[in-house]
Structure 1
């Protein structure tokens, strides 16, 4: 059985422009993404040509200013685009979210000269970005990173290894956090590193249980020279920049999770209406009807939560706690919905002939990336109770 196109969501969109944008994305998903999704994921192929198409359509710079080639879209609209793409194929939806994350540092903290020089290519020039924070020995404890940048004349020499880098080895640019000072968060600075920089290399992609079309690698920096003009923000500001980027990035992951859950729900509903047991469709059985109702509620509540956080962000109000809640709830919901979808399909759900087993494998990683759900609970608790006492 081939992947199905998830039905159009009944959205309350604020403008005709937003409605036209979502209609465009739905059309691209239907024509260009869904038909090849299962085959390309099985083969572990990253759809670079598709990202070129998305760039040409203006979908890689939606939440950034049009003055630099962006789309001037609020996060409320941008995230619904991400959901739509993830419902068609998570590699695409998450790829757009990661690219947006990688672009954030320069867009929010770069100088006017830096933005003018680099953002147009990053937002609409067919480029794909990567975000380098985690390392083999520092994941959740990101402030313990060891990659170091040392001043050398009018530039910097970067040495170290980053881990779990989405788009590693294929990215055109890397937003890299490196230590320029002492230990801890205040010794970290952000840099923009070109993908073809001498001394930069990527290890073979990790062999993952899902999301196989999206390359995840270690990235090695062996004496990579970076001019000071590619330093983003002030020295020692990098960790604050990294956390701010992740706050917004978590909303992207939440939207991706809702997309995957929605696709799984649609497949489960379709199967329940055609599969017959004991002389009638299994959709007639109350136990299964209640299960599907719970799945649908998780999808809708997840969307409501990420949109509420997005509206706070768009209004310039604090949204860190709500972003953590959205990431936590939506990814846990996706894990439950995809598990239930496999159960609805029974033995068929456990086979690769149906997409729900892929959705289940993909949902798991969303509970881990851009801050595990245990970290999200820590963030939420600190906003409720203050820092832990020692």
Structure 2
């Protein structure tokens, strides 16, 4: 079926304008949402034909479109609007969304592969794509009404960047201690409060906002609202960060923000359920980002060790360095298998919360170790910004913090162990 789809696309492209042909070709990986038995991988790192096509497409896009702008965006601490536009044009912002709504209608694992490939070149672009796909799009697909899906999914697939607004000044790891409030006023809800550390928020036009409609009920009062920037969302501060600097992270203020009642996603008081389930998926996305980051740093640094010679031989052939690289390659592969395993389990409807926590924890640790080692392998050159190796190390630190800190992941894993053995 995939090969047939590809042939049909090739024939269609010959008779259509180049821009449209490129867009159609980019979406030929969207043959199906599930893995058919006849193409099911025999091991975790063996990809289906659909997944291979996507991997190659994203890798080429990252090298040709993103790579030339990485350093400029990092220095400016700003995402290039053209990259956002092209991500939409290529179909990478609606990977799991059905074709009916302008999406690629592909699998969750495909989204994870795309996030990994983007992170090999720029983790900032990767996390922008990740949040949009695995958090916002998924919330609308799983919890939105048919009317909400009809209205918002086409926009999210084709043109409007989105943001997921949960964290607050006093609500980080304890996500359900949030203080943002929503009060009913006729056919609207009026939201007041502040959000912090919100990814994509500077460029986003669509926001999922979590607010409490009845504090007396605790977390059972938390509700998810969909708002647009033109409703009056105010960016209070754009953070200046150590890493992923092109990815916007802002504080947002809601001062009597009026949101139509029809924009509640998942029902009143159901926001906690939405957040818990979606954040488990999001952790797999961050694992993929950290995995791609580690591989990107490795791929940049290792060739240099065979180009630079000392004492009459390439430095990469010295046992001390060769063993470090062998260990790093093994850890990257282990992180990949953990990440793909969590993705496959989620895709097949199996429990995956423990596996997602393990993947996120380990991949973030590997990203820090490998990117730090990569700087040392390249020596003084690695310490300069010119090569881009040091950027991977700066970008890696966030992996231990967002989508649940490393301690939160350990706590999650420990609970499963206690449940099994106590």
The TM-score with structure 1 as length reference comes to 0.93
Inter-partner Cα distance in structure 2 for 1:217 and 1:316:
34
Question: Which whole-Å deviations, capped at 9, do the CAs of 1:142-195 have from their partners, x for residues lacking one?
Answer: 110000010001110000000000112321111111001125321100010112
8 Å CA contact 2:109, 2:344 repeated in 1: yes
Higher mean C-alpha deviation, range 177-186 or range 137-146: 177-186
Structure 1 residue 323 and structure 2 residue 356: aligned? yes
Deviation (angstroms), 1:366: 1.3
Inter-partner Cα distance in structure 1 for 2:313 and 2:234:
58
Question: Which whole-Å deviations, capped at 9, do the CAs of 1:39-87 have from their partners, x for residues lacking one?
Answer: 2211212122111111111110112222322222112222111110111
Task: Give 1 or 2: higher helix fraction.
Answer: 2
Q: Tell me the residue number matched to 2:20.
A: none
Moved over 4 A (4+): none
Per chain length, whose mean CA-contact separation is higher, i.e. which structure has more relative contact order (CA < 8 Å, sep 6+)?
A: 1
Higher mean C-alpha deviation, range 36-45 or range 286-295: 36-45
Instruction: Tell me the secondary structure at the aligned position of residue 223 of structure 2.
Output: strand
Inter-partner Cα distance in structure 1 for 2:397 and 2:104:
31
Instruction: Tell me the secondary structure at the aligned position of residue 137 of structure 1.
Output: coil
Question: Which whole-Å deviations, capped at 9, do the CAs of 1:66-124 have from their partners, x for residues lacking one?
Answer: 23222221122221111101111111111000112122222110111110111111112
Q: Tell me the residue number matched to 2:396.
A: 363
Structure 1 residue 267 and structure 2 residue 314: aligned? no
Inter-partner Cα distance in structure 2 for 1:260 and 1:151:
44
Structure 1 residue 57 and structure 2 residue 90: aligned? yes
What are the within-5 Å matches in structure 2 for residues 379-390 of structure 1?
379-386=412-419
Deviation (angstroms), 1:311: 0.6
What are the within-5 Å matches in structure 2 for residues 1-390 of structure 1?
12-15=46-49, 17-100=50-133, 101-124=135-158, 126-183=159-216, 184-198=218-232, 200-386=233-419
Question: Which whole-Å deviations, capped at 9, do the CAs of 1:176-221 have from their partners, x for residues lacking one?
Answer: 11001125321100010112112x1002311111111111110110
Question: Which whole-Å deviations, capped at 9, do the CAs of 1:307-364 have from their partners, x for residues lacking one?
Answer: 1111111111111110111100101110111111111112222221221111100000
Higher mean C-alpha deviation, range 224-233 or range 18-27: 18-27
Inter-partner Cα distance in structure 2 for 1:108 and 1:327:
23
Q: Tell me the residue number matched to 1:7.
A: none
Deviation (angstroms), 1:11: 6.1
Question: Which whole-Å deviations, capped at 9, do the CAs of 1:244-263 have from their partners, x for residues lacking one?
Answer: 11111111111110111001
Inter-partner Cα distance in structure 2 for 1:20 and 1:333:
27
Question: Which whole-Å deviations, capped at 9, do the CAs of 1:17-37 have from their partners, x for residues lacking one?
Answer: 332222221221111011111
Unaligned runs of 5+ in 2: 1-43
8 Å CA contact 1:76, 1:314 repeated in 2: yes
Inter-partner Cα distance in structure 1 for 2:321 and 2:137:
44
Unaligned runs of 5+ in 1: 1-9
Instruction: Tell me the secondary structure at the aligned position of residue 209 of structure 1.
Output: coil
Question: Which whole-Å deviations, capped at 9, do the CAs of 1:122-146 have from their partners, x for residues lacking one?
Answer: 112x111111000011100111000
8 Å CA contact 1:103, 1:175 repeated in 2: no
Inter-partner Cα distance in structure 2 for 1:369 and 1:195:
24
8 Å CA contact 2:338, 2:359 repeated in 1: yes
Instruction: Tell me the secondary structure at the aligned position of residue 160 of structure 1.
Output: strand
The TM-score with structure 2 as length reference comes to 0.86
8 Å CA contact 1:334, 1:363 repeated in 2: yes
Instruction: Tell me the secondary structure at the aligned position of residue 140 of structure 1.
Output: coil
Inter-partner Cα distance in structure 2 for 1:251 and 1:65:
21
Higher mean C-alpha deviation, range 165-174 or range 256-265: 165-174
Instruction: Tell me the secondary structure at the aligned position of residue 203 of structure 1.
Output: strand
